Amino acid sequence: MTGTLILVRHGQSEWNLKNLFTGWRNPGLTEQGIAEARAAGKALKAKGYKPDAYYTSALVRAQRTLDLILEEMGIENLTIVRNQALNERDYGDLAGLNKDDAREKWGEEQVHIWRRSYDVPPPGGESLKDTAARVLPYYEAEILPRLKAGETVLIAAHGNSLRALVMVIEGLDEEAILKREIATGAPIVYTIDADGKRVSTEELLSA
């Protein structure tokens, strides 16, 4: 018996477009982001996926992405679990700042360390390690048992919260996960066996 885990990063947000650090702030989707979410829904419907459970974060851009995916899949009247454990990494004092302005304030090298190190958080925020420390226990308690039981689970979340999951599922080390790009609106589909291990990976719509 195998389960299916579908991960989708939210479509492009207004702050993605403006090159701003977003974190736990709540911008909406751009027109491109809406189109990306709809394309993800169409791709999943074309593959015949019918999830048993749906999870998203407490942030609007991920919730809206999931709503659009479900609309395209023709799925309604269902329960969606929203939990801040799946929220994007909290960028703390960087949230709302243009990335170029942040480099001017703190320096190119320091901002690069905050963005691309595994365990160095920005001021007042979270590192990827911190993000994983809330995402993974939630996954193991709430989602993994469903996958082990053979269910199909769809998660719409964020680049870094999904990166924390991908790191464990794909067995990547701290250096490799930082280089692992997760495109907006491009579903990653894993087959998971009864022991919770990955059997296969398929990426839809990725460039």
Active site residues: 10, 88
Q: Do residues 3 and 151 touch, judged by C-beta distance below 8 A?
A: yes
Say whether 53 sits in a helix, a strand or coil.
strand
Say whether 98 sits in a helix, a strand or coil.
strand
Whole-angstrom Cα distance, residue 34 to residue 41?
11
Joined tokens for residue 25: 């702030």
Whole-angstrom Cα distance, residue 175 to residue 128?
11
Where does 51-199 have alpha helices with state H? 60-73, 99-106, 108-116, 128-138, 144-148, 159-169, 174-179
Using alpha carbons only, give the angle 26, 31, 35 rounded to the nearest 5 degrees.
Answer: 105
How many other C-beta atoms are found inside a 10 Å radius of the C-beta of residue 112?
A: 12
Q: How many residues does the chain have?
A: 207
